Chains A and B, each alone.
Chain A
């Protein structure tokens, strides 16, 4: 994935940070839902493989749950259309950030990022990358174990059958993690001396992605500081949300990765 033509991981970091910032400064559902669409489009254009695709779906599900949960919190106070809408928008913002991160996770190779981390951040970055990579593998493992147990007539439903699912999955996950750690140790990881094999070059595509993302974020920053657009629609009373054309265009810029830097054969 990290070949000469693929997008520099830093460009993706810039993209994700910019998109995340945009989601952070607004609760306008128009912009937020558009960000979902943008994230989906970028993911579809750049996703790495089946494992990452699966993890993106996980993030999508997680984001939806986050929205639902946050909206549900309204029931702890006075319930009104306005309050519900407010809660929903707050949840939507959180969900949007999750989806953006899901896209980021699906298009980058966490270990590639680790190698770019500065020396003193290497260990925590590696731990994070390992954690990120084990999750999709565990998910795959769950599917296989469930299948295997079906073969014996053990249907894994409900809490009673949990050991039949959990034990093999966890054991396998631990074994794989163990093998990986063992392998890294044997290959000299953490020996102190480090050098870098070919560093990833910045392609025009990567520059474009980073630049458009920065412009998008800057536009929203200007809107937020300059007050020339409504970033938080009124919820009491409930009003139709804004759709400023300049801000729409800024979000559209965040979809730029969908058109550049694609390395599909």
Chain B
């Protein structure tokens, strides 16, 4: 009988072999991202675009901003993010320095009121690497395809200040899908924008008004309740952009196809369970 064969196999399978099999199985999901590799360089979206990444320390938000000129200042990029994606911001030093982003940072004019914490300014190379900015936001020009990041934390230079998450341009701006008008809030899948409610949040709220682009945008949002340590300073792990590409249809609101799959799966499981119980009940009738 089949069962006896399986039992025989089980006893024939020595413990170390079984353990090894299990270990190999466990390593698969960890290594898979490396196997798929990074996505090809992003093709130009319609019109000049730049990427803006805000890392409050408890959550990161990324925005794909449509530029209204060939190049803008770092300050203006933030203003555009506010206009297009409702990013909350506050400038100080007469509008020349960045004090407050996504509800984090001191109010008022002194951007170093919370020193040693302040907003660190980084520029990305598009592939996940970041360089500490040598000039202020007001004097930095941001052009098409540029990647700007602001990270809240302490540390006086690029060596000590926390780095932004490892994001490439294609993580933030998916080719051919960006329209500034459609600015749905939310992370990966599109969603109906409750625009008024996506205003400025209280501090430490990870789900700030900012949005990322539809479907495959990788906002890497993490809520404050995540048990795993959030926003580690160094993250060299390869991006899983391939999965981004496999995500659902770009644009539009509402649930993605993943939800449909989940619904089908859930129904199948529930129905299967119900059938199992019923057949077991019938089998128990007296003969």
Contacts and interface: CB of A to CB of B under 8 A. Distances in A.
A–B: direct contact at CB < 8 Å: yes
Contact of A201 (B10, B188, B218, B226): B10
Chain B CB count within 10 A is highest, among A241, A248, A263, for: A241
Contact of B198 (A27, A43, A226, A237): A237
B280 interface: yes
Contacts of B190: 240
Given A30-B262, A228-B239, A265-B283, A41 B29 contact: no
B270 A240 contact: no
A239 B218 CA distance: 15
Given A25-B226, A30-B262, A227-B222, A237 B270 contact: no
Contacts of B256: 240, 242-243
A232 B226 contact: yes
A247 to B, nearest CB: 9
Contact of B221 (A201, A203, A225, A232): A232
Contacts of A226: 33, 237, 240
Interface in A203-253: 203-207, 210-212, 214-215, 218-219, 221-222, 224-228, 230-246, 248, 250-252
Interface stretch (A31-39, A136-144, A163-171, A180-188): A31-39
A248 B265 contact: yes
B223 interface: yes
A4 B7 contact: yes
B274 interface: yes
Contact of A234 (B221, B257, B273, B274): B221
Interface string B178-216: 000000011111110110011001000101000000000
Interface in B11-32: 11, 13, 15, 18, 21-22, 25-30
Interface residues of A, number: 65
A221 B33 CA distance: 13
A44 interface: yes
A43 B261 CA distance: 22
A243 B6 contact: no
A198 interface: no
Contact of A248 (B9, B218, B261, B270): B261
A237 B207 contact: yes
Contact of B186 (A40, A210, A237, A243): A237
B29 A218 contact: yes
A239 B29 contact: no
Contacts of B218: 228
B246 interface: yes
A258 interface: yes
Nearest to A4: B7
A236 B197 CA distance: 8
A233 B187 contact: yes
Nearest to A217: B26
B223 A232 contact: yes
Q: Does more than half of chain A's interface fall in helix, strand or loop, or is it mixed?
A: helix
A44 B7 contact: no
B272 A41 contact: yes
Contacts of A248: 258, 261-262, 265
A5 B262 contact: no
Contacts of B7: 4-5, 201, 203
A44 B273 contact: yes
A37 B270 contact: yes
Contact of B10 (A38, A203, A250): A203
Given A5-B3, A242-B187, A228 B243 contact: yes
Contacts of B6: 5, 203-205
A202 interface: yes
B138 interface: no
Most buried by B among A30, A38, A252, A265: A30
Across chains A and B, which 7 residue pairs bring their CB atoms closest together, nearest first? A243-B258, A239-B186, A44-B273, A232-B223, A37-B269, A228-B240, A219-B29
Interface of A: 4-5, 24-25, 27, 30-31, 33-34, 37-38, 40-41, 43-45, 82, 90, 201-207, 210-212, 214-215, 218-219, 221-222, 224-228, 230-246, 248, 250-252, 255, 258, 263-265
13 contacts: A40-B270, A41-B276, A44-B272, A82-B197, A224-B227, A227-B222, A228-B218, A230-B221, A231-B226, A236-B197, A237-B207, A245-B246, A248-B265
